[in-house]
Amino acid sequence: MPADGLVLFAHGARDARWAEPFAAVAARIQARRPDLAVVLAFLEHMAPDLPAALADLEGRGVTRVRVVPLFFGRGGHLRDDFPHILEAARRKSPRLVVEVTPAAGEDEAVQEALADFALRAPQGG
């Protein structure tokens, strides 16, 4: 059983295809770190939500979890909603050690990758 888990926390959308890039990121992480339990969780529209994802990991024997918000910016969702969701998740899984990273869009290397993409991406949106 993996002792460590990693949750990619994303917004969610009504269209199931919206989650494909997040599943691809999760697969890349899992390929690099087979020892980690890597899962997705969503703010709305998609399941599981964060409390359910953490409870699932705890049920699988995970003791420490890193939550990574895959959001570009820190608006109301991350500033206002997320702390309450995180608190609810911690109450539901009190023995889990939970750490949270900044939002992905705040990271300089991610910003550089986006700038690079903007300049080299092919036409065909």
Residues near a copy of itself (CB under 8 A): 6, 8, 10-11, 13-15, 17-22, 24-25, 28-29, 32-33, 66-70, 72-79, 82, 99-107, 109-119, 121-125
Torsions phi, psi for 55 (to 5 deg): -65, -40
Q: Measured from the CB atom, is 13 or 61 closer to a copy of itself?
A: 13
**Among 11, 45, 77, 84, which one carries the catalytic annotation?**
11
CB of 92 vs a copy of itself, minimal distance in Å: 18
CB of 54 vs a copy of itself, minimal distance in Å: 14
Match 């990619």 to its residue by tokens: 8
Peptide bond into 48 cis (omega under 30): yes
43, 85 Cβ separation under 8 angstroms: yes
CB of 105 vs a copy of itself, minimal distance in Å: 4
Torsions phi, psi for 53 (to 5 deg): -65, -45
Which residue intervals of the chain are DSSP H helices?
A: 20-32, 50-59, 76, 82-92, 108-120
Q: Measured from the CB atom, is 72 or 88 closer to a copy of itself?
A: 72
Known catalytic membership, residue 11? yes
CB of 2 vs a copy of itself, minimal distance in Å: 14
Nearest to 44 by CA among 85, 98, 90: 85
Q: Measured from the CB atom, is 1 or 109 closer to a copy of itself?
A: 109
Task: Give me the active site residues, please.
Answer: 11
